[in-house]
Amino acid sequence: MWKQIDDLLVPRLHLGPIDRAAYCYLLRHTRLEGKLELRFSMPWLARGICLGPDAASCAVRRLVDYEALRLLECSHAGHVAEVRLPEEILADLASKVPAGQPQDFKPRRVPPGFVVNLEEENFMRTNALRHTIHAREAGRCFYCLRLLTPPMKCIDHVVPRARSGNNSYRNLVSSCRECNMQKGQCRADDYLRSLFRERKLTERELTARLHALDALDALAAGQLPPPLPSSIAHVASQSPCLS
């Protein structure tokens, strides 16, 4: 496995020393221990590779873009990621090599924010995609409606991951950290009613939030067309996958 990493994976993905260190550390705590997924915090990873949290966070984002990691959850409680084996990553790379190209061909990466297939896209995959969820809510928490500053923002799963919720735009909303923490694994409509009982929402706001939640449910059932975030709407007009 280490020969695959050093001799094949690093040169094929052009991994720098920080990215390699982060990948190896996460691999050591998952697949080498027989686990597929790992919940971790950036400070924990930073300590493990002897770097600052910002450097560790950047490394994780790059590894997600390289498809060495699959980010399943990102919240105040930490990140949940599936760590892929070198052979799995290399097999995917080999399948993307066009006919006639050398084996060290590196596919051109899709620019951030460019969505090829909206229905199949993992909106937790990159910062640009997560930003489209925040943009859809116009800078407010989906639940309590407060204006969000950057440190307050996080992404919440309407149907929690623990209940088989996915990372599609249909199941993700922009949330403040307080609501994300308090909602936990409860139903979104029950949490909205609890905000009303605590007088954090007026009756009119509660009704509007429940209607918005019904619209998301309709999206999940395929009853409404998807609400394209403005940052990717221009792609939809040019791509048959999104029309």
Say if residue 62's pLDDT is above 50. Answer: yes
Q: How many CA atoms lie within 13 A of 41 on its CB side?
A: 5
- Among 28, 88, 18, 27, smallest CA distance to 56 is for 18
> pLDDT at position 149, please?
86
Residue 74 and residue 54: Cα distance in Å, rounded?
Answer: 15
> pLDDT at position 83, please?
92
Q: DSSP labels for 19-75? A: HHHHHHHHHHTTGGGT-SEEEE-HHHHHHHHTS-HHHHHHHHHHHHHTTSEEEEEEE
Say if 100 falls within a structural domain.
no
| pLDDT band for position 229 (cuts 50, 70, 90) | very low
- Among 77, 97, 57, smallest CA distance to 162 is for 77
Specify whether 159 is located in the same domain as 229.
Answer: yes
Per-residue CA distances from 40 to 33, 45, 58, 83, 97 (Å)? 15, 7, 15, 12, 33
Spatial strand order in the sheet of 78-83? 37-40, 78-83, 69-75
Of 1-5, 42-46, 113-117, 178-182, least confident by mean pLDDT is 113-117
| pLDDT band for position 109 (cuts 50, 70, 90) | very low
Specify whether 228 is located in the same domain as 156.
Answer: yes
What backbone phi and psi angles, to 5 degrees, belong to 157? -85, 120
Domain count, the chain: 2
Give the structural domain span for 85.
2-95
Residue 169 and residue 229: Cα distance in Å, rounded?
Answer: 10
Last residue within a domain, chosen from 55, 80, 95: 95
- Which 3 state secondary structure label does DSSP give 80? strand
Pairing of strands 172-176, 153-157: antiparallel
Q: How many CA atoms lie within 13 A of 243 on its CB side?
A: 4
> pLDDT at position 20, please?
92
Specify whether 134 is located in the same domain as 88.
Answer: no
> pLDDT at position 184, please?
83
Which pTM was predicted? Answer: 0.48
Say if 101 falls within a structural domain.
no
Contact by Cβ (8 Å): 161, 155: no
| pLDDT band for position 224 (cuts 50, 70, 90) | very low
Say if 88 falls within a structural domain.
yes
> pLDDT at position 218, please?
62
Say if 203 falls within a structural domain.
yes
Say if 109 falls within a structural domain.
no
161 versus 87: which is more confidently predicted? 87
Q: What is the CATH number of the domain that holds 39?
A: 1.10.10.10
**Degrees, nearest 5: CA angle 79-84-90:** 145
The mean per-residue pLDDT over the stretch 98-110 comes to 47
Per-residue CA distances from 113 to 22, 80, 87, 140, 161 (Å)? 24, 22, 28, 21, 24
Question: Considering the chain, what percentage of its residues have pLDDT values greater than 90?
Answer: 22
Specify whether 156 is located in the same domain as 76.
Answer: no
Say if residue 118's pLDDT is above 70. Answer: no
| pLDDT band for position 119 (cuts 50, 70, 90) | low
Say if residue 243's pLDDT is above 50. Answer: no
- Among 17, 129, 21, 7, smallest CA distance to 65 is for 129
> pLDDT at position 197, please?
93
- Tell me the pLDDT tens digit for each residue of 66-87: 888 888 877 767 788 899 999 9
The mean per-residue pLDDT over the stretch 122-140 comes to 83
